[in-house]
Amino acid sequence: MAYEKLLNTIKEGKLPSIILICSEETFFVEGILKSLRSTYAAASQWSYEVVDAITLDAAKLTASAATLSFGGDTKLTVIRNSHKLKKDQLAALEKIAANPSTERKLVLLAEKTLKPSESVLKWAKANKVSALQLTHPKPKEIKPWLRKLVASKGFKISEPTLEFLIDLSGTNLMGISQMVTKIDLYRGDKKNIELEDVEDLLHDSFEKGVYECVNAVFAKNRKKAATEFHRVLRFNAKEGISQIVRSLMKEAFTLMRYIEMREKGLSREEMVTKLKLGARKWLLNKEYPNRIKKWTKEKLHTFLLRLADVDFSLRVTGRDAETMLEQVIIGNLAPTSVEEYDEIFV
C-alpha cells in the first residue's frame, strides 16, 4: 500500500482492527498521525489515544479487545516505537489480533525501517496482522514527488528551483515539505516560482544555514562559514552540530571520490552514476572543479579525521562539541586543543 492510499484508508475509516506501520521518515509519521487525529479524535463516538511502547501496559489495553457493545466507547490506540515492544507485550496484544472488531482498532507505529528478523515483524506475520513498510523515495522518485506536492498547493516551480530545494534539504522529505509550505505562505498570487523568488525567502531557514555553512567551508570563506554556523545553532544547537558534521563528512567523502575518478579519467555521466548525485549533478559543472583547487586529498583526509573527533565527542565523550566544530569550521585549530595551532585552510 502506498502512502497516499494509506491516508485515504484512514480518512474513509476503513483501517483493519490492527495494523503495523513502519517508517523512519518523519514526514510519513507526522502525516499518518495527523490523518488519524483528524479522522478518529474528532469523531464523537471514538476515543483516541497515543501511547509509547516503553510505558505500555498491555494488560489494560487488551481488556478492551472484545467488542464494546454495552455502552462503552469505540476506541483507537496508536502505539509509537512499536519496534521496542517486548515479548510479554506482544503476547498480550495477540488477544486483539485474534478478536478483530470494528469498534476496537490498534495502530502499531514503528519509527524505523524494520528487518525481517525483528520480533515485531515476525509477530505480525505469525498473527496475520497487516504490515506496511513506508520507505524513503528513491533518488529518481524525489522530483516527481516534489512536483506533486507543489501542485497540491496550487503553484509550480522551475527546474532550477526544484533542484535547489532538493539539494538544500538533503532529500529530507519533512524539510522539503516545510520549505514548500513556507513558499506557499509567502508567494501571494504568484503561480510560477523561480529560483530568485525563494533564495531570500529561505535565507533564515535551518536547512539553508547548513547548506550555506558547508558551501562556505569548502570555499574556504572563514567569515561566512562562522556566521552560518552560529546561525544554525540558534535554531537547535545539538541537531545543528549533528547536521553540519553529517553534511561536511558527506561532501568531503564525495569530493575525495570525485578527485579519484578524475585521476582515472571517468566521464561526467559515469561520475554522476557512481557518486549518486541525481538532481545534484550540476555540482560537476563548476562547484567540484573549483573545490579541488583548494582541497587536496591529504587535506580532506585531515578534515575528515577532525570531524570524526567532533562526532565522537557529541556521541560519547561529552566534551564541548560546539567549540571543537567551530575550530574546524574556522580552520585555525585542531579540534582537540585550543592551544594547538594546525592550519587546514592554507
Does a structural domain hold residue 100? yes
Q: What are phi and psi of 331, to 5 degrees?
A: 90, 10
**Residues 161, 107 share a domain:** no
Does a structural domain hold residue 339? no
Give the count of beta carbons closer than 10 Å to the beta carbon of residue 343: 9
The dihedral region occupied by 51, where left means phi > 0, alpha psi between -120 and 50, and beta the remainder, is beta
**Residues 170, 108 share a domain:** no
Q: Are 258 and 273 in contact (CB under 8 A)?
A: no
> Cell numbers at residue 341, please?
595551532
Q: Are 162 and 144 in contact (CB under 8 A)?
A: no
Q: What integer pLDDT is reported at residue 66 of this predicted model?
A: 45
252-291 pLDDT, tens per residue? 998 999 999 988 888 888 888 888 776 667 778 778 888 8
Does a structural domain hold residue 342? no
Whether the pLDDT of residue 340 is over 80: the answer is: no
**pLDDT band at 20, cuts 50/70/90?**
very high
**Residues 111, 25 share a domain:** yes
- What's the CATH code of the domain at 124? 3.40.50.300
Q: What integer pLDDT is reported at residue 21 of this predicted model?
A: 92
More confident residue, 84 or 103: 84
What's the half-sphere exposure (Cβ side, CA atoms, 13 Å) at 100?
9
Q: What integer pLDDT is reported at residue 40 of this predicted model?
A: 83
Q: What integer pLDDT is reported at residue 310 of this predicted model?
A: 86
Q: What integer pLDDT is reported at residue 176 of this predicted model?
A: 84
Q: What integer pLDDT is reported at residue 45 of this predicted model?
A: 66
Does a structural domain hold residue 215? no
SS3 assignment, position 266: coil
88-129 pLDDT, tens per residue? 888 888 877 777 777 778 899 998 888 888 888 898 888 888
Helix residue ranges per DSSP H, the chain: 3-11, 26-36, 58-62, 87-98, 119-126, 139-152, 159-169, 173-186, 195-199, 206-218, 222-235, 237-264, 268-275, 287-291, 297-312, 321-330
The parent domain of residue 193 ranges over 139-199
Q: Distance (Å, rounded) from C-alpha 252 to C-alpha 214?
A: 10
By mean pLDDT, which of 50-64, 86-100, 305-319 is the weakest?
Answer: 50-64
**Structural domain count of the chain:** 3
Integer-rounded Cα Rg, in Å, for the chain is 24
Instruction: List Cβ neighbours of 187 (8 Å cut-off, separation of 6 or more).
Output: 155, 193, 197
Does a structural domain hold residue 321? yes
By mean pLDDT, which of 145-149, 293-297, 337-341 is the weakest?
Answer: 337-341
**Residues 124, 35 share a domain:** yes
Q: What integer pLDDT is reported at residue 324 of this predicted model?
A: 85
Does a structural domain hold residue 48? yes
> Cell numbers at residue 200, please?
531570500
Residue that finishes a domain, picked among 104, 133, 162:
133
Give the Å distances, CA to CA, from 156 to 54, 78, 151, 203. 44, 36, 6, 20
Whether the pLDDT of residue 63 is over 70: the answer is: no
Residue that finishes a domain, picked among 133, 148, 178:
133
Does a structural domain hold residue 252? yes
Whether the pLDDT of residue 68 is over 50: the answer is: no
Long-range contacts of 148-154 (CB under 8 A, 24+ apart): 149/176, 149/177, 149/180, 150/180, 153/180, 153/181, 153/184, 154/184, 154/191
**Residues 244, 161 share a domain:** no
Q: Distance (Å, rounded) from C-alpha 148 to C-alpha 150?
A: 5
Q: What is the mean pLDDT of the chain?
A: 81
Q: What are phi and psi of 86, to 5 degrees?
A: -90, 170
Whether the pLDDT of residue 84 is over 80: the answer is: yes
162-213 pLDDT, tens per residue? 888 887 776 778 878 888 888 888 888 888 888 888 776 766 566 677 888 8
Q: What integer pLDDT is reported at residue 329 of this predicted model?
A: 84
Share of the chain above pLDDT 90, in %: 4
More confident residue, 35 or 320: 35
Q: Distance (Å, rounded) from C-alpha 51 to C-alpha 82?
A: 10
SS3 assignment, position 113: coil
Does a structural domain hold residue 227? no
Q: What integer pLDDT is reported at residue 222 of this predicted model?
A: 85
Per DSSP bridges, beta strands 74-80 and 104-110 are: parallel
**Whole-structure pTM value:** 0.56
**Residues 269, 289 share a domain:** yes
**Residues 97, 43 share a domain:** yes
Q: Are 328 and 335 in contact (CB under 8 A)?
A: yes
Q: What are phi and psi of 49, to 5 degrees?
A: -145, 155
**Residues 62, 177 share a domain:** no
Whether the pLDDT of residue 318 is over 80: the answer is: no
